[in-house]
């Protein structure tokens, strides 16, 4: 069974262990997977905000200021998700 070194406590840990048994740190593969899910959730949320913001703007019978704010929030969230994705892969 291959052993990897825990980045926090430097103990040797099995590469199949989900967390370090010495300090409880979640190990790399799982951390990346969890971060990926978080980013996907952020991207879904940003797309939802943009679509919800576009609806009153297209229909022109809703509050277009609120719609524009939603689109802006969606774009900001999308950029934040892209930046954190890029950050994780460096």
> Could you tell me the smallest distance in angstroms from the CB atom of residue 48 to Zn ion?
38
Per CB under 5 A, 12 contacts Zn ion: no
Which x/- pattern, by CB under 5 A, does the window 34-63 give for Zn ion? ------------------------------
Which three-class secondary structure string do you get for 31-85?
HHHHHHHHHHHHHHHHHHHHHHHHHHHHHCCCCHHHHHHHHHHHHHHHHHHHHHH
Residue whose CB is less far from Zn ion, 6 or 71: 6
Burial zone of 16 (CB within 10 Å; 0-12 exposed, 13-18 middle, 19+ buried) = exposed
Per CB under 5 A, 22 contacts Zn ion: yes
Among 9, 32, 44, 51, binds Zn ion (CB under 5 A): 9
């Amino acid at each position: 069974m291959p052993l990897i070194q825990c980045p926090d406590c430097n103990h040797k840990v099995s590469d199949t262990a989900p967390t370090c048994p010495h300090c409880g740190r979640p190990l790399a593969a799982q951390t990346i997977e969890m971060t990926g899910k978080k980013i996907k959730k952020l991207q879904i949320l940003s797309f939802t905000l943009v679509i919800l913001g576009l609806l009153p703007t297209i229909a022109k019978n809703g509050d277009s200021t609120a719609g524009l704010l939603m689109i802006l929030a969606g774009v900001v969230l999308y950029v934040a998700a892209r930046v954190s994705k890029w950050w994780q892969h460096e």
